A and B are shown apart, each in its own frame.
Chain A
């Protein structure tokens, strides 16, 4: 191998990223960055070497990471990876390499641009997950199960579903990511990943249609909206803070932010 640096191209998976680390050492490639084959190819790129994802190699690298980095550091890598931000994979790549080369975790070196980038990305992902716990709203369906649409910026549903399965252990529910077109169904025992085919209107709009709804669902939505408006203190109106803490991109799926329905409330 000559001295010029090159870029490793992998298939975009986390295992692929770890395989790239493996190949860098085993084939003595002087690589400082990686490139997902799903990303746009930059205009100037001198040398690209393709890497075939290999689970066994990835596991060996991950075991090495586990030996050097703390749990927090490992979580930093996996969670920032989920952000799928351009360049974050190269940051993760370099963090692993630096930790391996120095035999010491660099996860706390916040003056290092890669660590800082990963840290910020991980925080955004964590925040997205937390906002899912905050702003997800279930609607009760006629068959007694519950349905919630979500539309997170990052693919955080798999990180959040455990929380709901624990919390609502005795109720069947479906949480569906309407932009990524998959969801999790909890049947009262276990959660299963589902992708629903066909053109079900509530999977597109996020709202159960009248005939699919539990007969009391409307009433409880109205009660919640009533409560939401009654609890605010007019003298302290602060729309800026409201929008800051509850970003507007969640509003279209929030029960309380829908204007009250015109129909009369069943008695």
Chain B
């Protein structure tokens, strides 16, 4: 551990920063022994710090090396880029992880790598890091490993024995676009390792039914990432893909990464001045609607509305397209319907369902419970409310009311709408 390590860490953290996955959740494992270190907790995981870009730092997110044999147009680490390159040795990385963890800086390790020599060689080194942490150092914290596209089944299965979560990034949501931008990749090389992990998890479930003591395999499931704005796919296509992924048994999270124009010389990519942050945010909101609000992908974006509204959130957007569904009586409507009301979230819907066992709820109660009445009042009744309902006042009126006075920043149309993909 020397100054040289410091420089390597700088290069390899910067190389890994465009991968947005950060979660340390999805598995609960207490530390059962007095001579091992680490546990994983329930709930949302623990974010230990927040970087200057506001993103959380939960795991030591780093690449083993940023040398890469691939030449993907959107990636900072592509072979043809003239950037500082570095490689951490397995022992350096293991020591860094342990020392950071013991100081409560991190929840664990998120290890990725550029592809050196061939996928199997690279994967094997990732597995070695995980093995050393778990076996030699008795590390019981969180480990997230990348499955390298094209790695063999044996290696992916080995990795799964040590990792809590594994991920392969799809990056580009359409195969033709992917081949165009990343000639070394295709959907098969991405979905194959995903499939290995899925099969591993299902077999493991079967084994654990027979022998309780069988060690768990990738207990926190898989995640993936889609780059937004590097290729011409519409939000509809992205959400369909996410929805299909969520229907598979092990995929827990899809991350969306607003494209940052890192390789500005490559004309295959749109020249963005700013990463499409608003669109990215809308996609996350849509993702939440699918995962926690029981929305289906085609309710959020379909062929008539292939892109998400950048001015208003997707739930409000749905409500304005369906005025006939409102008003909803908060004292009677079931939980599912409450979730559809703009201004009512999972938390307030739960509170409403509980609280109305005791008494009828009025607008005062709702406000105190945490319902955003400014929005919700157009969509609900609670016996005493006099505000106009969206069905009578027209969606256009409600939209104007909710967007107009808010702030000036929404008035200039966001830039990423007008893109020419040539």
Contact = CB atoms under 8 A, between A and B. Distances in A.
Interface string B46-76: 1111111111110011100000000000000
**Most chain-B CB neighbours within 10 Å: which of A109, A134, A228?**
A134
Given A134-B47, A231-B51, A236 B18 contact: no
Nearest to A111: B365
Contact of B104 (A110, A138, A169, A245): A138
A241 B50 contact: yes
A235 B48 contact: no
Interface in B8-58: 9-11, 13-14, 16-18, 30-31, 33-39, 41, 46-57
Nearest to B60: A227
10 contacts: A108-B354, A108-B355, A138-B104, A146-B103, A169-B31, A170-B36, A220-B103, A227-B10, A238-B52, A242-B52
B1 A216 contact: yes
A223 B54 contact: no
A212 B10 CA distance: 28
A190 to B, nearest CB: 11
B358 interface: yes
Given A220-B99, A231-B17, 10 more contacts: A108-B357, A112-B358, A134-B48, A220-B100, A223-B9, A227-B13, A230-B9, A230-B10, A231-B14, A235-B274
Contacts of B10: 226-227, 230
Interface in A212-245: 216, 219-220, 222-224, 226-242, 244-245
A111 B365 CA distance: 5
A227 B9 contact: yes
A106 interface: yes
Contacts of B213: none
Interface stretch (A14-22, A34-42, A49-57, A160-168): A160-168
Nearest to B105: A224
A111 B368 CA distance: 8
Given A169-B36, A171-B102, A109 B358 contact: yes
A82 interface: no
A25 interface: no
B361 interface: yes
Nearest to A236: B53
A166 B41 CA distance: 11
B49 A256 contact: yes
Contacts of B51: 228-229, 231-232, 242
A137 B102 contact: no
Interface string B363-406: 00100110000000000000000000000000000000000000
B202 interface: no
A148 interface: yes
B367 to A, nearest CB: 11
Interface string B327-338: 000000000000
